[in-house]
Each structure stands twice: as structure tokens, then as C-alpha cells.
Amino acid sequence: MLALQGGVLGGFVAEEKMTVRPDDRGYTGLTISPPLVADDVVIDDLVARVDRVADRVDAWLAENQ
């Protein structure tokens, strides 16, 4: 199993101006927390950012196997 090197995911996330909070319970997942007053534009922007990070992670893993 290939894992991301330390800092790779954090770098991708920071470039998209997002934050990541680790979970110490061993949970693997993604929780998205938009503002309570978020409209469609905000949600679409957030989903696009997550999508770009996921695409970059996929590309990084493919290149570093």
C-alpha cells in the first residue's frame, strides 16, 4: 500500500486555502464543514476545491508508485 509522504496532502490542501484536522480515533474519511449560511456558490466552490485536492493526490500516487 502506498501512502502520501508527510506534508504532501497538507501542501495540496493549503494551496486550496482549506484546512485539515486529523482524527485520533483512526477514522478515515472526509468531513466538509461549510458555513451555516452557505449558498450554492459557496458549496460549489468548496466541492471544487476538494475535487482538485483529490485529483492532485491521485496524480501524486500514480507518479510515486
Query: Residue 50 contacts by C-beta under 8 Å, 6 or more apart in sequence?
Result: 18, 30, 32
**22, part of any domain:** yes
**55, part of any domain:** yes
Give the structural domain span for 46. Answer: 8-63
**2, part of any domain:** no
**29, part of any domain:** yes
**50, part of any domain:** yes
Q: What is the pLDDT along the chain (65 residues), one digit of tens a residue?
A: 566 777 788 899 999 998 887 777 776 677 888 889 999 999 999 999 999 999 999 999 999 88
**pTM across the whole model:** 0.80
Rounded Cα gap, residues 30 and 53, in angstroms: 12
